[in-house]
Structure 1
């Protein structure tokens, strides 16, 4: 029984979005990875989004051409991607179609809109990107914070 558990663990460890290579067929990718978090129509094909949120720190865009072949595989939850968001032009839909749903959505008194928070790793540091969307759903700013460790269970 222990050997079966180890084998299952090994097989699951091998099925990672990051390992999918250009040229892979969509059906084979889905068979290996399971259903995506989201499916997004693209002008020249389709994107399968595999997100590790809320517990993880990565989201992968696997873009397929019209024939169902993988043409691009990108881990998108990065400092650079958030720093380069097109302020004033990107919308809620652009965020969802690129990064997936956020870790959380909040509001604060000093900003009239929603703040979508995504978590990610920068090197070994745990970080959060706070994307401010106005009432029309347009990105207005992005702020970054470090994600602090959860110490409330340290006493237990």
Structure 2
């Protein structure tokens, strides 16, 4: 059976479009407020983390770590309805979200999920938790410093130099 190039191109476009739509269905940031928790779980599958919220709600967390660059927190109220879906790895949000000298290790987990890596540096007595993210398509890193008592003492961002080493 012969097909014209136009027909093949149209079929290719339809296949790509359907894959794109399927990808959108699995994009946690596309969950709308008012969606039920059951619908959310059906569309997105098992979250990478589940954390209780004040007032009886729950956070469903979808992280693409360690290879990805996004962590989406979907907050569900006590009635089981989504109130927000937020991609939290964003430089614009770090300053307002991270509570230095207030947040504890559990707060960091409930907000950002498991880090890409946990390391130590000689200039700080404690652990440095690291997440990958993108800022205007540039690969970046978020570093949160947690002291031995489990309290966040500082944070900063930097370039993802590991990626540059892999390309060389």
Instruction: Report the TM-score, using the length of structure 1 for normalisation.
Output: 0.88
Task: Say whether residues 1:103 and 2:116 are aligned partners.
Answer: yes
Q: Where has structure 1 moved over 2 Å in runs of 4 or more?
A: 5-12, 80-84, 148-154
- CA distance in 1: counterparts of 2:46 and 2:166, whole angstroms: 35
- CA distance in 2: counterparts of 1:128 and 1:57, whole angstroms: 9
Higher percent of residues as helix: 2
Q: Is the CA contact 1:37–1:49 (under 8 Å) kept in the aligned structure 2?
A: yes
The structure with the larger Rg is 2
1:146 alignment counterpart:
159
Unpaired segments of 5 or more residues in structure 2? 1-11
Deviations 1:18-39 (A, max 9, x none): 1100000111110110000111
2:5 alignment counterpart:
none
Q: Is the CA contact 1:52–1:58 (under 8 Å) kept in the aligned structure 2?
A: yes
2:38 alignment counterpart:
27
Q: 1:65 aligns with which of 62, 66, 77?
A: 77
Task: Say whether residues 1:76 and 2:88 are aligned partners.
Answer: yes
Instruction: Report the TM-score, using the length of structure 2 for normalisation.
Output: 0.82
Aligned residue for 1:96, secondary structure, equals: helix
Deviations 1:83-127 (A, max 9, x none): 331111111101000010110000012211000001111122211
Q: 2:60 aligns with which of 48, 61, 69?
A: 48
Aligned residue for 1:111, secondary structure, equals: coil
